């Protein structure tokens, strides 16, 4: 590990093989907490490469608990966090809308690290269990079309690293690679990134990790979600081809809102917002979810363009399909708890 730390200190990037070797140490008991912190800060200061991201993700996924029976065409939508916007849980809400449109979603997430409320925090507040077995998760994904994969349960090797990330309280490479560590072999993925300079690198990482299609997005105001405040920067991954494009609210006939209008709060506040959107309440929260869900639907290939995807996202909410997916998760969690008792 010292060799890798010295290379980072000299502002040199690690090769794919070097990063995989460093990751083996990172998730072992052979390194100290200070070495782990130094490694994360060394990567952040130097600037992360696609090879470093792919190498770290490869080792993490090898060590993760696996889901073996998953639906065809399964996807994930997740932001990196770290944008400091204090927005509500946009991607978590959008996941139910995507699933309601008929696209299976293996939603991978965690408690808050650099944001105020993580996906796990808001779902737990709604009554979704974070303690389900892998077999139960597979069953939910098959029957409901959306399941939640709680990162600490999926990635036991991350326990020490998570402790250090919580102590650092700043975005690190783990914010960037978090969305990539889903142990499910995904067909497609939507990834929001708080750093615009990493859009193409993240898109290339999606391709290297076997995604057939995907979209990376940095929103107006440098959010890690698509925003209706102005121009969004995106990269479409289509069978290995990277296609950069930009998208503004007027391009897809949606209203413009300042990012201050989509600020959230604690887990209870954000749970209330999530439910209000899925129940059809109009306004900035709903329209922002519609845009992000539409990007996921477009990324999956179910819609030919974003306009068509927006129509499907609206139908998912207005038909009750989206909230039905959430209600299934809550009911399943209650029944699972009763069996334990």
Residues placed in the known binding site for 5-phospho-alpha-D-ribose 1-diphosphate: 79, 82-83, 87, 89-92, 107-115, 119
Residue 218 β-bridge partners: 233
**Residue pair 130/337 in contact by the 8 Å Cβ criterion:** no
CA distance 200 to 204: 6
Binding site per annotation, positions for anthranilate: 79, 110, 165
256 alpha-carbon distance from chain centroid: 24
Contacts of 268 (CB under 8 A, 6+ apart): 125
Q: Which residues are annotated as a binding site for Mg(2+)?
A: 91, 224-225
């Amino acid at each position: 590990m010292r060799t890798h730390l010295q290379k980072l200190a000299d502002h040199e990037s690690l090769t794919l093989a070097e990063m995989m070797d460093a990751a083996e140490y990172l998730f072992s008991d052979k390194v100290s907490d200070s070495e782990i912190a130094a490694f994360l800060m060394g990567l952040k200061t130097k600037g992360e490469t696609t090879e470093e991201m792919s190498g770290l993700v490869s080792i993490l996924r090898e060590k993760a608990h696996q889901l073996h029976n998953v639906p065809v065409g399964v996807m994930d939508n997740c932001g990196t966090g770290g944008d400091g916007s204090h927005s509500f849980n946009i991607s978590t809400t959008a996941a139910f809308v995507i699933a309601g449109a008929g696209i299976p979603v293996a939603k991978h997430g965690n408690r808050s690290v650099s944001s105020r409320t993580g996906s796990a925090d808001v779902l737990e507040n709604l009554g979704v269990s974070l303690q389900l077995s892998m077999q139960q998760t597979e069953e939910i994904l098959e029957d409901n079309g959306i399941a939640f994969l709680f990162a600490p349960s999926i990635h036991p090797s991350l326990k020490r690293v998570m402790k250090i990330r919580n102590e650092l309280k700043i975005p690190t490479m783990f914010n960037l690679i978090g969305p990539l560590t889903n142990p499910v072999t995904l067909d497609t993925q939507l990834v929001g990134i708080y750093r615009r300079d990493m859009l193409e690198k993240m898109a290339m990482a999606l391709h290297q990790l076997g995604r057939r299609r995907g979209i990376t997005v940095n929103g107006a105001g440098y959010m890690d979600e698509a925003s209706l405040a102005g121009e969004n920067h995106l990269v479409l991954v289509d069978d290995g081809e990277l296609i950069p494009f930009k998208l503004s609210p007027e391009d897809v006939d949606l209203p413009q809102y300042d990012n201050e209008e989509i600020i959230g709060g604690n887990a209870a506040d954000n749970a209330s917002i999530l439910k209000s959107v899925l129940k059809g309440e109009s306004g900035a929260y709903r329209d922002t979810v519609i845009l992000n869900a539409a990007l996921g639907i477009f990324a999956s290939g179910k819609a030919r363009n974003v306009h068509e995807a927006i129509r499907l996202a609206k139908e998912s909410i207005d038909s009750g399909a989206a909230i039905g997916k959430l209600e299934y998760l809550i009911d399943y969690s209650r029944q699972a708890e009763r069996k334990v008792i």
